[in-house]
Amino acid sequence: MKPLYTLVLLAFLPLYAAAQETPAVPVFAPLVATEVSTAELMWLKRPIVVFADSPNDPSYTTQMRMLAEDPAALDERDVVVIIDTDPAAKSEWRLKLRPRGFSLVLLDKDLEPELRKPLPWDVREITHAIDKFPLRRQEVLIEQPAGR
């Protein structure tokens, strides 16, 4: 009888291991402005571009910490974070958006700037602003099931 229990246990062991896997959690991985072009993101992602004159800028470090706190909320809204802390590099993003010092620029999927902030914003404020964008409202309407 014991061999039968062992056989049944071994049969269900792979199912138990599969059930223990944790769901994928979005990883906060900002992109460097010089390594990503606007053409790559058009109509696919909503860029949040964080500018600073140095990676040691206190506003920059605060902003990056705030963005890392809730990557799932940003991922749900197709947000990609782009960082530019080198004014001398003159990235495509810096030439297009022309920031001065620290700046947080939120663009929609058409890559038009929707919001500029001179101070750090937390994810909750950013997601509320995104949810008011016309393209985001269309996405939410499309995602809703029929009959609502």
pLDDT in tens, 126-146: 999 999 998 888 888 887 766
Helix (H) or strand (E) holding 126: helix 123-130
pLDDT digits (tens, 9 = 90+) for 48-69: 999 999 999 999 999 999 999 9
- Domain 31-143: which CATH number of 3.40.30.10, 1.10.20.10, 3.40.50.261, 3.30.342.10: 3.40.30.10
Domain boundaries, the chain: 31-143
| Spatial distance between the Cα atoms of 59 and 96, rounded to a whole number of angstroms | 22
pLDDT digits (tens, 9 = 90+) for 83-125: 999 999 999 999 999 999 999 999 999 999 999 999 999 999 9
Q: What is the pTM of this model?
A: 0.78
What's the whole-number mean pLDDT along residues 61-85? Answer: 95
Given a contact cutoff of 8 angstroms between Cβ atoms, the answer to whether 129 and 114 are in contact is yes
